[in-house]
């Protein structure tokens, strides 16, 4: 009988990971998404809770692209537009 070590995300207990670092990255992404959702809800109160959650997760998953765009390269967002059109 083999023993398998798995890691559970503390913010998303249903998700299991084979690597602790991957679980940590997922938790940090969800933490960022939650913070973004709070800010978005205050900035645009007409957005629903589900909308701010989805936007927060999208931005957190694509944080590198948004960081690049905010630093002075708005063209970086074109990558997100291209990948959204593919879906």
> 15-54: per-residue pLDDT in tens?
999 999 999 999 999 999 999 999 999 999 999 999 999 9
Which residues, other chains included, contact 7 with Cβ-Cβ below 8 Å and sequence gap of 6+? 16, 17, 18, 19, 20, 22, 23
Pairing assessment for the beta strands 7-8 and 16-17 based on DSSP bridges:
antiparallel
The structure's pTM equals: 0.79
CA distance 19 to 4: 11
- pLDDT range class, residue 11, cuts 50, 70, 90: confident
> 45-68: per-residue pLDDT in tens?
999 999 999 999 999 999 999 999
19 touches 26 (CB < 8 A): no
- pLDDT range class, residue 9, cuts 50, 70, 90: confident
């Amino acid at each position: 009988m083999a023993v398998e070590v798995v890691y559970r995300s503390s913010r998303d207990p249903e998700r299991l990971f084979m690597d602790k670092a991957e679980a940590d990255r997922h938790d940090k992404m969800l933490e960022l998404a939650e913070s973004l959702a709070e800010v978005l809800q205050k900035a645009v109160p007409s957005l629903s809770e589900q909308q701010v959650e989805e936007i927060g997760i999208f931005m957190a998953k694509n944080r590198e692209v948004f960081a690049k765009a905010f630093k002075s390269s708005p063209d970086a967002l074109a990558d997100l537009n291209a990948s959204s059109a593919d879906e």
